[in-house]
Structure 1
Amino acid sequence: MLKQNRHAVRGLPAAVEGLEHVPARGPLVVLAGGDGQRALSTVLFAVRGTPARRLDGPDALHALAHDEAVLVRGVEAAVAAADRAPASVLPVALWPDGRRTRIVFGPVLPQDTVEHSVRDRVRAGHAALTTLVERARNPEWSAGPRSARAAAGHLDRVFETLLSRTDPLPDSTLYAQAALLLGLGRLGDPHNVDLRVGRLRLTALRNETRPLPVRAAALWRLRAGAEEALRQEPDHLMAHYLLGRWHLSAPGLLGGRRDLAVAHLEAADRLGRGDTRYVLGHAEALLAAHRPTAALSALERVIEAPADHPRTQRRRQSAIRLSRALHQEQAPGSSVAPGARGKG
């Protein structure tokens, strides 16, 4: 896998448009018009986490069976390969820009074989490539912010995968994806606040197991970066969550404040629209601030929420344990002060 990662990260393209069209999962045939396979492979690896392969004999179906992208030149070959898999067909145009390549993705081609014949899909492929090549030659730089937002969305998914520990991809691959997505997003909009917060998250995750001085420095950067993001966008969900977590975990001597942990995690709870990650964080802050009644209310929301994913199931179990402990603390005759066992 390390060899594949080194192959995939050899260089970013000059610009990327249409990143929102690249499927993150599922068999994929990439219909490429133009030269620049190395840059294209880098982008596909950033989104999908698997290396791209050329369509060549039996390796084509082998690659598709392993949920990897396959690059083809001819429209007819792309449609035929997609029908065998079955797979989505993603058109993309490549255009030289100095020593690098401009890349423009279009929407996947029609996949309904009942309503769209092979001839229809081949024609759609030719039309898509013609349009995309022209846009690659004369790029719409205003489209950059859209790709930056798409990169931020893909980045958030990679972080969720990394934290869930349920994906077969190793952590080294997920970290490589995250770094590449940050680079791709900055090509479109270097000031995108979601990407800036994403860089903070990546730095914090990478330094979790580092020596204390290194970890402490990363945490200070996290706090400063989250505060700057909130000055730029006061209702930024992840910035509130990260800053709340910082105040919840940092000791008072280093500036950690439980009242600010409650305020920021309450904002994340409100902005997160019921996502149990933010509700549970809010509950833990309330526990640390010795507000057991409000904490129990938040914990009940986590317990009653749907838990259809390993991460949400773990959050529910954590909420159940905290709720039971809090009920025991509040029971008559208990010698433990309410909220004393909350994280802080």
Structure 2
Amino acid sequence: MLKQKHAVRGLPAAVEGLEHIPDRGPLVVLAGGDGRRPLDTALFAVRGRPTRWLDGPEALHALAHDEAVVVRGVEDAMAAADRASAPVLPVALWPAGRGTRIAVGPVLPHDPVRYSTRDRVRSGGAALTALVERTRNPEWSAGPCSARAAADQLDRVFEALLSRTDPLPDSTLYAQAVLLLDLGRLGDPHNIDLRVGRLRLTALRNETRPRPVKAAALWRLRAGAEEALRQDPNHLMANYLLGRWHLSAPGLLGGRRYLAVAHLKAAERLGRGDTRYALGHAEALLAVDRPTAALSALERVIEAPADHPRTERRRQSAIRMSRALQLSRSASSGARGKG
């Protein structure tokens, strides 16, 4: 029997392997080790859905220091995976002071045709034992790799928020973003992608807030983006956020359109074909009255593959902007000719 647990149960002491957690679809978790279980938090941060657990201590909570229990736990997990057509995710947990260290491994082979039951149980037991040994190491630290994995997952959540195509509600996506920021800081509190990600989250949350609140958030965004660029002048998202800030902020508050052009041009160069950056660059060029360069940037958006609803929306926006700009230039040329 399955039972459902909704609660997020606090942050672990350290976590690695977030990149191995499937972000959607059914999943069987094979957890081994001792200690309290903030595993719900890590799973929710990636998946945005409550975890469904198997009843019984031997079905899901195989203790890796008892080989017989490991075998039974892996066998039960494989059987559950076959019934649900789901991958099996090995996870190790071990107490660390008042917290718990978590290590997540790659999903186990779950093709019953290609892999025999014996091979699958053997690989599952080996994976679980190795992960537990890792978390038991007192010198183990999730480190920078964990922070990078959290930052990558955070980018995916932001895309879901902006595209409006994810079935999860915005409130859940915001909760995921906050948890991923917190989990990433466990590995590296100075990770620049996570720091810029926090700025990005603040900007998104304050889009519909009252003007004074929004203004204060925008000031923090500018200061944070400038600090990030002092550390890494080629940081893509910091350039994009700061360019957008200068494009939207009035001159009395420090908005400088020429700086918007510079930062958004850098973002387009660093973004390697992502049309959001080309479209932002085009808007900045229009703001400084450089129509020829703006048309060229808009053409890059129009010609790019539109393989996602959000990309198609940008393409349609670029088409409208390009037509309006060409009509305006034609009208101006006609007026000069009559004169």
Q: How many angstroms does 1:25 deviate by? A: 2.3
My pick for the range that moved more, 37-46 or 157-166, is: 37-46
CA contact (8 A) 2:91 2:103 kept: yes
**What CA distance in whole angstroms lies between the structure 2 residues aligned with 1:263 and 1:84?**
55
**2:323 is matched with which residue?**
324
SS of the counterpart of 1:94?
strand
After superposition, the Cα gap between the structure-2 partners of 1:196 and 1:310, relative to the gap in structure 1 and judged at 3 Å, is same
Q: What's the counterpart of residue 94 of structure 1? A: 93
Structure 1 distance, partners of 2:131, 2:331, is 71
Structure 2 contact 261–281 (Cα < 8 Å) conserved: yes
Q: 1:196-215 residue pairs with structure 2 within 5 A?
A: 196-215=195-214
Counterpart residue number, 1:152:
151
TM-score, normalised by the number of residues in structure 2: 0.90
Range with greater deviation from structure 2 (292-301 or 107-116):
107-116
Query: d(CA) in 2 for partners of 1:306 and 1:313?
Result: 8
Q: Which residue of 2 is the match for residue 106 of structure 1?
A: 105
Relative distance call for 1:127 and 1:227 in structure 2 (3 A) is same
Cα 1:241–1:169 shift into 2, 3 Å: same
**What code does the residue aligned with 1:81 have?**
A
Q: Which residue is 2:233 aligned to? A: 234
Corresponding residue of 1:125? 124
Greater CA deviation, 124-133 or 16-25? 16-25
Q: Deviation string for 1:118-146 (max 9, x for gaps)? A: 11111011111111111111155454110
What's the % identity of the aligned pairs? 80
Could you tell me how far apart the structure 2 residues matched to 1:267 and 1:76 are? 53
- Which residue does 2:83 correspond to in 1? 84
Q: Which amino acid aligns with 1:43?
A: A
Alpha-carbon distance in structure 2 between the residues aligned to 1:176 and 1:169: 11
Instruction: State how far apart, in whole Å, the 2-side matches of 1:236 and 1:258 are.
Output: 20
Task: Tell me: CA distance 1:87–1:152, structure 2 relative to 1, closer, same or farther (3 Å).
Answer: same
Q: Is the 8 A contact 1:29 1:72 kept in 2?
A: no
In structure 2, C-alpha distance between the alignment counterparts of 1:256 and 1:204, rounded to whole Å: 16
In structure 2, the partner of 1:250 is 249
Q: Which shifted more, 82-91 or 181-190? A: 82-91
Q: Contact 1:39–1:101 (CA<8 Å) still a contact in 2?
A: yes
- 2:317 alignment partner AA: S
Partner Cα distance (2:132, 2:156) in 1: 29
Task: Tell me which amino acid in the other structure corresponds to 1:208.
Answer: E
Q: Which residue of 1 aligns with 2:7?
A: 7
Match of residue 160 from structure 2: 161
- Tell me which structure has the larger Cα radius of gyration: 2
Preserved CA contact (<8 Å) 1:29 1:78: yes
Q: CA-to-partner distance for each residue in 1:72-126, whole Å, 9 max, x for gaps?
A: 6411111111122211111010111223211011111123433321111110111
2 CA distance for matches of 1:268 and 1:173?
A: 29
**Offset of residue 308 of structure 1:** 1.8
Letter in 2 for 1:218: A
Counterpart contact for 2:37–2:93, Cα < 8 Å? no
Query: How far off is 1:20 after superposition?
Result: 2.0
Q: In 2, are the aligned partners of 1:53 and 1:71 still within 8 Å (CA)?
A: no
Equivalent pairs counted in the alignment come to 321
- Which SS does the other structure have where 2:38 is aligned? helix
Q: Which runs of 5+ in 1 are unaligned?
A: 58-69, 338-344
For residue 27 of structure 1, report the CA deviation from its aligned partner.
2.0
Q: Which amino acid aligns with 2:282?
A: A
Change (3 A) 1:114 1:175: same
CA contact 1:279–1:299 (8 Å) conserved in 2? yes
CA 210–332 in structure 1, closer or farther in 2 if over 3 Å, else same: closer
The worse-fitting range, judged by mean Cα deviation, of 72-81 and 125-134 is 72-81
Match for residue 289 of structure 2? 290
Question: Is contact 1:30–1:72 with CA below 8 Å preserved after alignment?
Answer: no
Deviation for aligned residue 1:11: 0.9
Partner-residue secondary structure (3-state), 1:331: helix
Distance 1:144 1:298, change over 3 A: same
Give the aligned partner of residue 341 of structure 1.
Answer: none
SS in 2 for 1:7: coil
Match of 1:314 in 2: 313
Q: Cα RMSD over matched residues?
A: 2.1
**Cα 1:15/1:39, change in 2 over 3 Å:** same
8 Å CA contact 1:91, 1:125 repeated in 2: yes
Q: How far 1:26 moved relative to its partner?
A: 2.6
Contact 1:329-1:335 within 8 A present in 2 as well: no
